Amino acid sequence: MPGSPRTAPSWALLLRLLALLRPPGLSEACSCAPVHPQQHVCRSALVIRAKISSEKVVPASADPADTQKMLQYGIKQIKMFKGFEKVKDVQYIYTPFDSSLCGVKLEANSQKQYLLTGQVLSDGKVFIHLCNYIEPWEDLSVLQRESLNHHYHLNCGCQITTCYAVPCTISAPNECLWTDWLLERKLYGYQAQHYVCMKHVDGTCSWYRGHLPLRKEFVDIIQP
């Protein structure tokens, strides 16, 4: 969960927040609000490409009365896209051991590479959970990979709103409607993979994919 602008949260605080956000009656469930990949990159303190080299269960804190456990993943960092000012080289990442607290299960000791977004805690450790954007690198589109370096960062002033049902409208000129769930019944569909919500010189934002036009379904919803 995002910390304050000045002080990153601790493990204990993050685990308490995740427990509080767990929906009532769903003790074994992790629930996350839909967030577009562009927003994930903008909101995260750290964005890296990495391979997982090891996995270990560790205590969540030095307090012997604290029974919470964390998973410590050793990683081989391939590239950092965001977070240079907070940490230079990430060797370990941490996630809740309890899946109901949105703990992430990654493949260790394999050739699989991941895009990982997360937070940098007050002690310098990197914390991830299922509400972050965590995807196998091979599943990202060419545009998504390229946007990690430029487009996503440059357009963090744009807002992206999920459209669940028609009619859906924008409430501000710097807003883009995200329609993957409406059109495909999944979040990370065609629009998330192939479009960036880009800001124009007049402060407005709209979906952009180079010289290619928006699909007709998007235009019909965005321009009723």
Known binding-site residue numbers for Zn(2+): 30
Tokens encoding 204: 């407005």
Beta-bridged to residue 126, according to DSSP, are: 93, 120
Binding residues: 30
Cis peptide before 59 (omega within 30 of 0): no
Burial of 194 (0-12, 13-18, 19+ CB in 10 A): middle
Residue that the structure tokens 């051991």 belong to: 97
Nearest to 36 by CA among 213, 219, 180: 180
**DSSP H helical segments within 137-197, as ranges?**
142-147, 151-154, 180-184, 190-194
Distance, C-alpha 121 to centroid of its chain = 16
